[in-house]
Amino acid sequence: MIKVSVPNMNVVPIVVKPVFEELGYEFIAPPKMSRKTIEEGAKYAPEFACFPLKAVLGDFILASRKGAEYLVIFGGTGPCRFGWYGSTLQIILKNLGIPAKVFVLDFPTEKWARDTFSILGINGSSVKKLIHSGLIALKKLRLIELAQELARKIRPFEVKIGESDKTLQKIYKIVDNENSFIRLMKMKNEIKLMFEGINKNSNHELIRIGLVGELYMCLQEELNMWTESKLGKLGAFVDRSAIGLWKYVTGDIGLNFAHRRAKRIAYPWLKWHAGGESIYSIGYSLIFERKGYDGVVHISPLGCMPEIVAQTIMEKCVNIPILNLVFDEHTGETGVNTRLEAFCDLLKLRKE
């Protein structure tokens, strides 16, 4: 069986696993992202490449050491650099002497699309089964996003700090091991019950923070130093409605109405979507301001082209405090902690 791997991106390995297994591949989950992944990637990646490329390269190197032959990544032809990742990674891996092939899910030309489908379908799995596994994948994604949403709501109130994070990890494991569609359908209540079981103390004042920024950096907790859960533990409700995998999938094809609204609100400030999440960063920050949130945390990797545009404009148009967190391979966790604590203190003081 051909071994396939994907880069870490929050729960993506869990979600895409059933699809690849249905297609007849052996799925190899990349090792959990750690310092080693980042170091490995930063060593071989181009110097000024954006941080996600380095992290993905690290993932690919480690996954190929585990035996992966195909490394799958999305592509694109947008203005952001992400669409060119596949080609760059292939060149780097080739020069490192790693035989693994980078497989870009992307259709820039007709020939490319035909090749993609012919490689994907080598094992002749039926369309019906494929759709079934696709539905399982979507269901898993929805369940995990629900769990994350619940965790965000409970985190500021938990008595024993860190309990919701533990529950979340437990849920990841359960969802990962469950492959029956019917049982997945019933899991929603189970997840809700698990979070209801956490002890809460509800008598402290809540600050509300909106999270915006680049998709990959916001989702990959190891890269953004667990910003989201740290803010929660500092007593802030974090609204991550701006970013999410499901949102990304639906927003890209124009089905997400919240995204459309954000685009409309940001239009006076940025008249053209400059790739990535630039226009959503601005739009959702303005929405958070209108909703009366206390602050916005903006996360971006170093050298991200669209987010620099967004940052420049947000400084002018958003009238609530913004914390810009720019991450790269040299970012230390203590520095981030200090800034998050200071930001939360500032917001609490402003409220009084």
Partner 1 sequence: MVYYHSIMKIGIPRAGLYYQFFPLWDTFFKELGFEVVYSPPTNASLLKKGLEYAHSDICFPMKVNFGHVYWLKDKVDVLFVPRFISLEEKKYMCPKFMGLPDMLKASISNLPPLLDVNFNIRKKPFIRSWIEVGKRLRVSANKVKKALVKAEISQKSYQWNNLNGGDGLKIGIVARPYIIYDKYVSAELIDRLKEKGMNILTADNLIPEIINKEIAILKKPIYFDFGEKNVGTALHFLNSGEVDGFLYLISFECGPDSLLKEIIDDRARTSDIPYTTLVLDEHTEIAGILTRVEAFLDMIEYKSKTKFNL
> CA angle, 126 as apex, 124 and 129 as ends, to 5°?
130
Return the half-sphere exposure (C-beta side, CA atoms, 13 A cut-off) of residue 21: 15
Closest C-alpha to 281, from 249, 241, 252:
241
Q: What's the min distance (Å) between Cβ of 245 and partner 1?
A: 22
Residue 305 interacts with partner 1 (CB under 8 A)? Answer: yes
The 244-283 site mask, x for binding partner 1 (CB under 8 A), equals -------------------------xxxxxxxx-x-----
Q: Which is nearer to partner 1, 5 or 278 (CB)?
A: 278
Residue 108 interacts with partner 1 (CB under 8 A)? Answer: yes
Residue 167 interacts with partner 1 (CB under 8 A)? Answer: no
Q: What's the min distance (Å) between Cβ of 313 and partner 1?
A: 4
Q: Which of 28, 33, 49, 211 is in the footprint of partner 1 by CB under 8 A? A: 49
Q: Which residues fall within 8 angstroms of residue 89, CB to CB, at 6 or more apart? A: 53, 56, 57, 60, 71, 73, 102
Per the CB < 8 A criterion, the answer to whether 60 and 89 are in contact is yes
Closest C-alpha to 239, from 290, 280, 297, 161:
297
Residue 72 interacts with partner 1 (CB under 8 A)? Answer: no
Closest C-alpha to 236, from 314, 197, 293:
293
Closest C-alpha to 41, from 59, 32, 60, 54:
54
Residue 98 interacts with partner 1 (CB under 8 A)? Answer: no
Please state, as a whole number, how many other Cβ atoms lie within 10 Å of the Cβ of residue 3.
18
Residue 333 interacts with partner 1 (CB under 8 A)? Answer: no
Q: Which residues fall within 8 angstroms of residue 307, CB to CB, at 6 or more apart? A: 213, 214, 276, 277, 278, 281, 298, 300, 301
Q: By CB under 8 A, how many residues form the interface with partner 1?
A: 49
Residue 105 interacts with partner 1 (CB under 8 A)? Answer: no
Residue 38 interacts with partner 1 (CB under 8 A)? Answer: no
Residue 181 interacts with partner 1 (CB under 8 A)? Answer: no
Alpha helix (H) residue ranges in the chain: 12-22, 35-44, 51-65, 85-96, 110-120, 127-154, 163-177, 181-196, 215-219, 227-233, 245-252, 257-266, 278-290, 305-317, 333-351
Q: What's the min distance (Å) between Cβ of 21 and partner 1?
A: 28
Q: What whole-number distance in Å separates Cα of residue 100 and Cα of residue 190?
A: 40
Q: Which of 24, 31, 78, 134 is in the footprint of partner 1 by CB under 8 A? A: 78
Return the half-sphere exposure (C-beta side, CA atoms, 13 A cut-off) of residue 203: 0
Residue 352 interacts with partner 1 (CB under 8 A)? Answer: no
Q: Which is nearer to partner 1, 95 or 126 (CB)?
A: 95
Q: What's the min distance (Å) between Cβ of 345 and partner 1?
A: 25
Q: What's the min distance (Å) between Cβ of 144 and partner 1?
A: 30
Stretch in the footprint of partner 1 (CB under 8 A) among 3-11, 74-82, 120-128, 223-231: 74-82
Residue 92 interacts with partner 1 (CB under 8 A)? Answer: yes
Residue 1 interacts with partner 1 (CB under 8 A)? Answer: no
Residue 212 interacts with partner 1 (CB under 8 A)? Answer: no
Contact residues toward partner 1 (CB under 8 A) are 46-50, 53, 75, 77-81, 83-88, 91-92, 94-95, 104, 106, 108-109, 112, 269-276, 278, 302-303, 305-306, 308-309, 311-313, 315-317, 326
